[in-house]
Structure formats: C-alpha cells, structure tokens
Amino acid sequence: MEYLTLEYNGDVAVVGLNRPQKRNAISDAFIEELNDVITEVEARAKAAVIHGHGPHFCAGLDLAEHVKKTPFEGVHGSRRWHEVFARIQRGKLPWFAALHGAVVGGGLELASSVHVRVADRTAFFALPEGQRGIFVGGGASVRSARLMGVSRMTDLMLTGRSVDADTAERWGIANYVVDAGEALAKAIELAKHAATNAEISTYAIIHALPRINDMGSEDGLFVESFIASFTATSPEAEARLNAFLSKKAGKVTNPNG
C-alpha cells in the first residue's frame, strides 16, 4: 500500500494514514486505497482504528490535485468521498479514530465518519474552506454539523478559527481527550472492548441510531421498539442475558470508584 498502513491487534484492525510529508492530505488515489482497505478490514476484523503517521492526523484535501479539476470532476470527487466515508459510518464494524496534530478540513470530515473519536492534547480542529474560496465537500455539512451543531460549524468556516481538543470534546467532535501521544493506545483499547459486543447489537447501534436521529420523535420511538425486540430475541442476546442473571458477566462499573 502506498498511502495507508494496515496492522491487526487481535480482532482490531489498525489503519494508518501514511503521507506524513503531505500532512496526510487526502487525494483521489488515497480515497481508492482507503476503500480497498475497508473491504479487507470488514472481512477480517471486529472493530477498526484509524490514525495518522507523522505529526498530524490529516490536514485535509490535497489542494494541489483539487485545483486542477473541472467543476464536474470536483462533484464526482466529492461524491466518491461521501461513498467511501459512508462505508465507515454505516458499514459492518465500529470504527475509532486516534487524533493528534491537525484534524483539519477533509481530516475532520474523515474523523466525523467514525463512531468514536479519541483526541490527544496536541490535536486541533478547523474547517478553513471559507478562506480557500471553496466549500466543504467530504461530508462535513452533514456529519460534522450533526456532531457540533450548525452554529459552531458556521463559526469555524466563516472565521477560520481552530479549536483545541478540550473545546472539541465540549462541542461533541471528540469523545475522549488524553495526554499527548496516548490517543492510539486509548482508541485500540476502546476498539477491543467494542469487538466483544454482540455483532447484532453493534450493527443496530451503527445503523439505527443515526437514522433514528434523523426521524421525528414518535417515528424514532416506534423503530426503537422493533429493534429492541429483535436484538433481544437473538441466541447471542439470550446467552449473554442468562450469563448476567447467573452472575457470570461483569456489572456496569461506577466511574466514581
């Protein structure tokens, strides 16, 4: 592979963005390689982690390539990003991101497509497209805006400001904040936990929650009741519930000690 690395840590696939000399900027070839990696990972792993090699997670779109495109080529490129990132967001596996350094533009769009984001304290987040004379094209207007809210995204795009990891956590862009250099280990730890979940439950979480979020409240509650009933009657759910009732499964831990 030219743009990515792929390793396995037990049932967890660890995917690395590997263009450090370009701050892991995303090109068309990069997207196609990511698409191939997703196919392989879905066949072999139960969870996946994505991270960046070098000092940054991803500084966004490869502008040198983008500036040479016609408007229609740009549309096709944008739609391909949407297609490939959707395979992460609504695929077979839970995906976790380990974020450090720049999580900017297309890098934030990629991070927004995963299910859980771990940022270390070197991470900073921005959507500078407004200053480049362009608009977001990798899904930020849907995915990133749903995480942080339209008002905050508008602020980022109009002012060009960047925010730190603690702010990103408050805004919902990051789920966890850890010390510098610890994001990848934490993301792998979380992915290993997710890999032990019942497959049907994980699939329902990945696919149902975002769809219910897009529904009206009564429609969402109606769909929830069917999913809850369906998952609870699976053989794996029955075995896990019986294990809990017989005190063979761990209880929920109290974070307060």
pLDDT in tens, 5-28: 999 999 999 999 999 999 999 999
Domain annotation for the chain: domains and CATH numbers: 4-195 (3.90.226.10), 199-245 (1.10.12.10)
CA distance 29 to 42: 20
What pairing do the DSSP bridges indicate for beta strands 124-126 and 162-164? antiparallel
| Active-site residue, from 129, 169, 199, 224 | 129
Catalytic pick among 83, 109, 182, 238: 109
> What pLDDT, in 10s, does the model give residues 220-252?
999 999 999 888 777 776 677 667 667 777 776
What's the whole-model pTM score? Answer: 0.91
Q: How far apart are CA 84 and CA 138, in angstroms?
A: 10
* Count of residues making up the chain: 257
pLDDT tens digits for 133-173? Answer: 778 989 999 999 999 999 999 999 999 999 999 999 999 99
pLDDT of residue 36: 98
Q: Let me know if 83 is a catalytic residue.
A: no
Is 218 in the active site? no
Other CB atoms closer than 10 Å to residue 220's CB: what's the count?
Answer: 16
Mean pLDDT of the chain: 92
Contacts of 184 (CB under 8 A, 6+ apart): 14, 49, 51, 98
